Amino acid sequence: MGYILTILVLGVAVALYFSWRRRAELLGEECRRAREALESAQKQHYREISRIEAEQQALFNSMSEGVLILDQAGRVQLVNRALLEFFGLKVDVRGQTIMEAFRLQELAEVARRLPQERIVQGVELQLPGVNGGWLQFNAAAMLDREGTQRGSILVFHDLTRLRQLENTRQEFVANVSHELRTPLSLIKGFVETLLDGAKDDPELAGRFLRTIEKHTDRLTYLIEDLLTISRLESGQIVMNLHEVELRKETGRVIEDLQARAAGKNARLQNEVPGELTARADTDRLQQVLFNLIENAIKYGRTEGTVVVGGKRNEAGKVELWVQDNGPGIPADAKERVFERFYRVDRARSRETGGTGLGLSIVKHIVQAHGGEVWVKSELGQGATFYFTLPES
């Protein structure tokens, strides 16, 4: 009997063991499933956060304005591509303070003011460096529902182009004023002299009147050139493009300038190939050639030679050039000769009646044709002006 009871107890114990073991396995399986579900949820959460951050970064990077977000401690939390380009940053600045990232006291000062002022607007900032641009930025504190500051956002606008245009406008007004003032002052002086009695001397009066006429013509040329540039820049001049025989048009311009060339005993050579044609506006092409050849005569040597040539270049465009054997152009002036009112030799240019706008007009006309213009020159070796036109 005792033996049977022992067996029964052992049986119950074994049954309980296996029951508990099964329950432990089930509980372990449930724990494993719960853990896997939690890990999956965490991964999904991280993926969702990464997706939102990527979308946010893509949104910010698509903006032309620079965006800077600071955390509650004033450290960089986010910067977009435009801001990196504005400041020329090549490294990741996240986690750094404003002074560590940008080294600009003006930015740090605005960030310091935000907790009290909440919003700071219209701050202008000049970037360091030789070619430093200009930025304007607005800053705002980011607040939670309780009004506690949780960070800051700064939005930057590039003012560089606007400042350049403003400087160009001011320079243009100053140049025009100067160019108008000089001949007007001379005309006024001669008129006053005539009124004071010089008109009674026929020889002196004639000389004064011829001088007045010369400077009146100079004013007329200046105004005409200004109007031409204005119409070209505003697109008011429509190019009448058609096939043009370049040697023939070059010959017509050379014929018109023969008298001026004879005044300096200069030779004009037309070396444009007879078969070369281009798609161009005849009147505007003649204006380009006239300006370039006239300049070559003016600034070339006495008894010099001016050569006009042309070819079809490797890019499939028609390339024309005007070459002289004058004194040449300094290296630092070659990039500026096409600017309005720029003169390599101001005194000599005024003596020859130049307005300082001829090469600027050339550039605008060539660009309106879809071409390019440039100059090659060495001091003492003359200068060669090149321009391209679309092939016909």
Give residue-wise pLDDT tens across range 293-304: 999 998 888 888
| 180-213 burial code (b ≥16 CB/10 A, e <16) | eeebeeebeebeeebeeebeeeeeebeebeeebe
Tens-digit pLDDT profile for residues 61-94 = 777 888 898 988 889 888 888 888 888 888 888 8
- The contacts of residue 317 (CB under 8 Å, 6+ apart) are 371, 388, 389, 390, 391
Number of neighbours of residue 169 by Cβ within 10 angstroms:
10
At 318, is the pLDDT very low, low, confident or very high (cuts 50, 70, 90)?
Answer: very high
- Whole-angstrom Cα distance, residue 289 to residue 320? 9
The whole-number pLDDT of residue 323 equals 93
CA 230, 232, 235, 239 torsion-angle sign: positive
Q: Which of 340, 28, 376, 329 is nearest to 176 (CA)?
A: 340
Q: Write down the residue that tokens 């048009």 correspond to.
A: 249
Contacts of 366 (CB under 8 A, 6+ apart): 288, 372, 373, 387, 388, 389
C-alpha 32/C-alpha 318 separation (Å) is 78
pLDDT digits (tens, 9 = 90+) for 7-28: 665 666 656 666 666 776 777 7
pLDDT of amino acid 89: 85
Q: How confident is the model at residue 255 (pLDDT cuts 50, 70, 90)?
A: very high
CA distance 107 to 99: 8
Q: Per-residue confidence at 2, pLDDT binned at 50, 70, 90?
A: low
Stated as kind and residue range, the H or E segment containing 101 is helix 98-102
The whole-number average pLDDT for the span 306-313 is 93
Return the ∠ at Cα 354 (arms to 362 and 351), rounded to 5°: 155
Q: What is the pLDDT of residues 338-358, one digit of tens each?
A: 887 777 765 555 555 567 788
Q: Give the pLDDT confidence score for residue 131 in this predicted structure.
A: 65
Question: What is the rounded average pLDDT for all residues in the chain?
Answer: 83
CB 204 within 8 A of CB 211: no
The model carries a pTM of 0.59
Q: How confident is the model at residue 248 (pLDDT cuts 50, 70, 90)?
A: very high
72 Cβ partners below 8 Å, 6+ apart? 149, 150, 151
